[in-house]
């Protein structure tokens, strides 16, 4: 199959232009991405001596500026025989 050189050149130019457009669109790669084992527990309205809260997104999180509608998302760990605040 012979492809005329003009068509090959046009395909190369179009694919380069498409790649350039993709490079211009930037998406924040940190949006809703966390590595939970690196997060630390922080005091919150639900914590007690036996209840520990790790803020992942939203209230208590260090990077709240990237959220668009998450009020609070986190991990609660309650010690054996413990309880959280009401």
* Residue 57 reports pLDDT greater than 70: yes
* 16-45 per-position pLDDT tens digit: 655 555 555 565 555 667 788 888 899 988
Closest CA to 65 of 36, 30, 26: 30
pLDDT value of position 11: 66
Of residues 75 and 57, more confidently modeled:
75
| Token reading at 84 | 């959280």
* 43-55 per-position pLDDT tens digit: 988 899 999 999 8
Closest CA to 59 of 48, 46, 77: 46
CA distance 28 to 65: 12
| Token reading at 17 | 């232009």
pLDDT value of position 52: 94
């Amino acid at each position: 199959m012979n492809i005329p050189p003009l068509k090959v050149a046009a395909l190369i130019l179009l694919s380069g232009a498409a790649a350039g457009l993709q490079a211009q669109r930037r998406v924040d790669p940190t949006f809703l991405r966390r590595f939970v084992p690196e997060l630390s527990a922080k005091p919150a309205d639900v914590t007690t001596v036996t209840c520990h809260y790790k803020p992942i997104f939203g209230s208590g999180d260090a990077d709240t500026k990237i959220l668009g509608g998450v009020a609070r998302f986190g991990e609660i760990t309650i010690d054996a025989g413990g309880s959280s605040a009401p």
